[in-house]
Amino acid sequence: MKTGPDEHEPDEHEPDEDDLTNTSLMERTSPMEITGKTALVTGANRGFGRHLAAQLRDRGATVYAAARNPAAVDLAGVTPIALDVTDPASVAAAAAATRDVAILINNAGSGTGASLLTGDLADIRLEMDTHFHGTLAVTRAFAPQLAEHEQSAILNVLSVLSWVSLPNISAYCAAKAAEWSLTNALRAELAPQGTRVASLHVGYMDTDLARHVTEPKSDPADIARIALDGIEAGEAEIVADEISKQVLAALSAGVRGLYPQVA
């Protein structure tokens, strides 16, 4: 005798029009041309964000290079703009000062190195405020501009650490995991307005954020190219390096596959 949620089998039924429409929007992978579009990149004054802004410019986009200190943006051919993703007033001001944004790249990040168990709570909050609340705030602020276009796109720069956690930087991992869930939710909510939401998963890159890491690091210019190719191809999930592919494949194995030392 069956008990619990399986006790009553659901009735079979034909999908209704809304089901079909939502599925179609979610699965759409039509190409998107970057040339001629207006893009905004957060955290564009250095590292990976600077590479993204430069390559968007080189592909023919009009680029807003957002940073907490716009004077730190030293990239020719882009428009610096002040934007602190952890400050609601700054986010609102940036959205009011821009127009025609069709591509939004949520790249701004923090790396406090805090442990969830022993780290300073202020550092843990900063990780969540930057990667989760900051990404959400920027997306909400720019969604109306994105909706003005027949095709628009958001890229959330995540990490392989959105799928697996390391104890010594577990606050960062938890924030990236939350941002991954946020990305999946926004993908469904923004699909009806024609905005595609993509996630970028990558391991260590050779930037200031990973300057103390001794493990192999990817060239951020290469990852930026892969990310923008993914936007143009309409990909929903951009898995940019081998370590990310390996961890993604291990997700189905659960705790035993990802954390054999404690399983």
Is residue 176 among the annotated active site residues? yes
Is residue 2 among the annotated active site residues? no
Among the listed residues 2, 37, 64, 176, the single catalytic one is 176
Residue identified by tokens 């609601």 is: 88
Of 13, 189, 14, 34, nearest to 105 (Cα)?
34
Q: Is there a contact between 66 and 2 (Cβ–Cβ < 8 Å)?
A: no
Q: How far apart are CA 38 and CA 81, in angstroms?
A: 14
Pairing type for strands 237-239 and 38-41 reads: unpaired
Among the listed residues 172, 217, 245, 259, the single catalytic one is 172
Report the alpha-carbon angle 113-118-124, nearest 5.
50
Beta bridge partners of 152: 195
- Could you tell me how many residues make up the chain? 263
The Cβ of residue 238 has, within 10 Å, a number of other Cβ atoms equal to: 22
Residue 254 tokens read as: 């659960």
Residue type, 81: I
**Active site positions, annotated:** 172, 176
